[in-house]
Chains A and B, each alone.
With several copies, the nearest count.
Chain A
Amino acid sequence: MPKRTIQSFQVEWLQVLDEHGNCDEELRPPLSDKEIQKLYEYMVLARILDEKSFKLQREGRLGTYASILGQEAAQVGSAFALQPSDWMFPSFREAGASVVRGLPLRMILQYWSGDERGSQIPEGQNDFPITIPVGTHIPIAAGAAWAAKMKGDNIAVMAYLGDGATSKGDFHEGLNFAGVFSLPVVFLCQNNQWAISVPLSRQTRSKTLAQKAIAYGFDGIQVDGNDVFAVYQAANEAVKRARSGGGPTLIECVTYRMGDHTTADDASRYRKEEDVQEWRKKDPIDRLKKYMAARGLWDEAYEQRVTAAAREQVEVAVTEEEAVPPPDPRDMFRYTFAELTDELKGQMEHFLGGDGRVRL
């Protein structure tokens, strides 16, 4: 009579490009030179936008901002696997992924400047606005995936989340739904080791986040999140599996939040500079640069061109954003429902000074 093993599970780790730029060509995804350069250019653009946003905040020209420094590969590599017809659900720290998706840079700045119009995603672009309550977009993404499946649309949905988000009930419920209904959705977790000041060890006792997929009966994989090839490879496989009816995947990108949590945070209160230093050596852009240089895809002139173009793009976006007239306060009311209710009409009129006061 048995005490016997009835289930076995493995969690795999994928790294293609190590921190010195050494690449396992067998594992390397079949990207063209152009595509590799594109990955690099997106990462550079993401970083320059990030640096600029940080500076603007410090100058009082932007509100609270959440830096993506260090997470460029995780974001760019994963978003690069998406088609425009796929849907993307960001958390709140996805400027890099949004850049790849083609969200106008101006809108990214506009959002962080405290203007809802930054979330008015252009028609035809299947990106959801930023979600602030951690993890709550996960079931929504699953629902969109379910709708796509019902409609027979051949698309995948990608939902971004952090290590902290894995503790929320909505993570569990969303992934569980995705498993039960075998939905075309990829959960892209950027394990950057921190949820504000709370380290991963306080978020879970599990050794990996990838293994959480076991609870839902689908695959999880852990990848080097600073290796854009590994991220792209895993994301691409998962997205294809999703589109072809193979169901969901959880991808854990092991990375590090190099900056403060947001511009409102001071990470030196709770973590040591040495720990951050360790991760500087693993910089995702540096290692791709080394690889490209060795392959002849990168030289100083190229670097100059790429950074200059990125700077230019960012500067234009800043100028554009700062030229946008302030939002119309009537927008508070207008978008509450498809049609303004009598009640809201009354409140708006009162606000506008129906009884003699003018507030605009």
Chain B
Amino acid sequence: MAKLTMVEAINLALKQEMERDPSVVVLGEDVGKNGGVFRVTQGLYEQFGDARVADTPLSESAIVGVAIGMAVYGLRPVAEIQFEGFIYAAMEQLISHASRIRTRSRGRYYCPLVLRMPYGGGIRAPEHHSESNEALLVHTPGLKVVAPSTPYEAKGLLVSAIRDPDPVIFMEPKRVYRAIKEEVPEEEYSIPLGQSRIVTEGRDVTVISWGAMLQATLKAAALMGERGIRSEVIDLRSLSPLDDETIIESVKKTRRAVIVHEAPRTCGLGAELVARINEKALLYLEAPVERVTGFDTVMPLPKLEQHYLPNAERVVEAMDRVLNF
């Protein structure tokens, strides 16, 4: 089996889904000849042509709006927002239309749209190129939100996202894009949406993260492992809907939890996870659930970004706190 980067795995998923289903089309800025600024769509233009791999004008709101129209008409558009920091212009289309065409029309119309976007920091990018805004999307009823953490995961989840009959936001941790390689089957497989994944089993503490933060989390778990602490690391995968069962079962077992995300702390997805643990497993908790997150400040430019982003050290400290509460 070939070892692929996440960029290659996503590319493969796109290629195979386009081969399988002629209604799958790709659109966005620079997705054509250029193959995407991260090369995620490389080769698709050559293989499928201009009609199915379309460079668009620089219009985030219309990229999403037009994709909604395509989806409603019967296509399966996979639209790209070049960086997560440029999605705000498309919020009206996402919140006011994509997420609610099905319910507004009581099922007459629906919107099988995938919106891919690289997200997160750590690659020394300019302003707005390093944000982690999943909470805005998770708070929007009617959207599904997925964040793969590894190449294998990315391929399997994207296949499910494309085949899903509802809008899926597919958040790609750009820091992972080329950071790790993994065996990724050429053959078709899919990973169902809505399910989290236990990466390492353990009984002492549950650590929940997703996307690029999984790497820091695993590193922290390994460091703690050297000290005899057995962490149960959960890759959230599906940010909306949430997989309460996996999370709650784990916390009931370990009685301690740490949540790790890049986004600002206040009203981040971490808060929701704490709230659910509080609701469903309060009496099991031996310590307050800890959140290791970005600060409630603007994500800084590269010279300060390493201070902003959670890292293994900060995760270890939080694990220590829940263990020694």
**Interface set of A (CB-CB < 8 Å, partner B):** 63-64, 87, 92, 113-117, 119-123, 128-129, 131-148, 150-151, 164-165, 167-170, 173-174, 176-177, 180-181, 195-198, 202-204, 264-265, 269-270, 326-327, 329, 331-333, 335-338, 341-344, 347-348, 351, 357, 359
Contacts and interface: CB of A to CB of B under 8 A. Distances in A.
Contact of B58 (A195, A344, A347): A195
Nearest to A356: B317
B19 interface: no
A204 B57 contact: yes
A176 B57 contact: yes
B126 A335 contact: no
Interface in B102-161: 102-110, 124-129, 141-142, 144
Nearest to A163: B58
A198 B75 contact: no
Given A116-B301, A121-B108, A136-B92, A177 B62 contact: yes
13 contacts: A92-B126, A132-B128, A133-B96, A136-B65, A136-B96, A139-B68, A140-B69, A140-B97, A147-B70, A168-B58, A173-B59, A327-B303, A344-B241
Contacts of A135: 58
B296 A138 contact: no
Query: Which among A87, A134, A143, A327 has the greatest number of chain B C-beta atoms within 10 A?
Result: A143
Nearest to A202: B55
A128 B19 CA distance: 30
A275 to B, nearest CB: 14
Nearest to A196: B30
Contacts of A357: 317
A336 B298 contact: yes
B304 interface: yes
Contact of A169 (B34, B59, B194): B59
Contacts of B55: 197-198, 202
Given A147-B73, A169-B61, A196-B29, A326 B68 contact: no
B129 A119 contact: no
B61 A139 contact: yes
A176 B296 CA distance: 35
B57 A129 contact: no
A142 B65 contact: yes
B124 A114 contact: yes
Instruction: Across the A-B interface, give the 5 residue pairs with the lowest CB-CB distance, nearest first.
Output: A143-B69, A139-B65, A114-B302, A173-B62, A197-B34
Nearest to A198: B55
A135 B307 CA distance: 30
Nearest to A353: B317
A167 B93 CA distance: 16
A117 B103 CA distance: 10
B170 interface: no
Given A129-B104, A133-B92, A139-B61, A269 B74 contact: no
Interface in B13-66: 25, 29-30, 32-35, 37, 51-52, 54-62, 64-66
A142 B69 CA distance: 7
Contact of A129 (B105, B194, B300, B304): B105
Given A132-B127, A341-B241, A165 B58 contact: yes
Nearest to A65: B126
A182 to B, nearest CB: 13
Interface in B247-272: 265-266
Interface string B272-297: 00000000000000000000000111
Given A136-B93, A140-B72, A142-B66, A202 B194 contact: no
Contacts of B296: 336, 343-344, 347
B240 to A, nearest CB: 9
B103 A343 contact: no
B30 A197 contact: yes
A146 B73 CA distance: 9
A197 B32 contact: yes
B295 A144 contact: no
Given A128-B72, A129-B104, A333-B295, 5 more contacts: A114-B301, A116-B304, A144-B72, A176-B59, A342-B245
A268 to B, nearest CB: 11
Nearest to A262: B126
A139 B297 contact: no
Contacts of A170: 61-62, 65, 89, 92-93
A292 to B, nearest CB: 37
Contacts of A136: 65, 89, 92-93, 96-97
B74 to A, nearest CB: 6
Contacts of B72: 128, 140, 143-144
Contacts of B68: 139-140, 143
A341 B194 CA distance: 8
A30 B141 CA distance: 50
A29 B155 CA distance: 56
A146 B66 contact: yes
Given A269-B34, A342-B244, A332 B70 contact: no
Given A63-B124, A144-B73, A198 B102 contact: no
